[in-house]
Amino acid sequence: QKEVEQNSGPLSVPEGAIASLNCTYSDRVSQSFFWYRQYSGKSPELIMSIYSNGDKEDGRFTAQLNKASQYVSLLIRDSQPSDSATYLCAVNVAGGFKTIFGAGTRLFVKA
Amino acid sequence: GAGVSQSPSNKVTEKGKDVELRCDPISGHTALYWYRQSLGQGLEFLIYFQGNSAPDKSGLPSDRFSAERTGGSVSTLTIQRTQQEDSAVYLCASSSQREVEQYFGPGTRLTVT
At A30, the pLDDT band (50, 70, 90 cuts) reads confident
CB contacts of B43 in chain A (<8 Å) are 44, 88, 101
Per-residue pLDDT, B70:
84
> Rg (Cα) of chain A, in Å, rounded?
13
B96 touches chain A (CB under 8 A): no
The per-residue pLDDT for range B30-66, each reduced to its tens digit, is: 899 999 999 888 899 999 998 888 898 989 999 999 9
Core vs surface per residue B19-37: b (16+ CB within 10 A) or e? bebebbbbeebbbbbbbbb
Span A73-96, average pLDDT = 92
- Percentage with pLDDT > 90 across chain B: 76
B31 touches chain A (CB under 8 A): yes
Of B32, B33, B22, B24, residue with least CA distance to B2: B24
DSSP state of B62: S
| Closest-approach residue (CA) in chain A for B97 | A97
At B11, the pLDDT band (50, 70, 90 cuts) reads very high
DSSP state of B26: P
A32, A57 in Cβ contact below 8 A? no
DSSP states along A10-77: -EEEETTSPEEEEEEES-TT--EEEEEEE-TTS--EEEEEE-SSEEEEETTEEEEEETTTTEEEEEES
Nearest by CB to A43, which of B31, B91, B101? B91
At B85, the pLDDT band (50, 70, 90 cuts) reads very high
More confidently predicted of A29 and B103? B103
Q: In one letter, which amino acid is A59? A: G
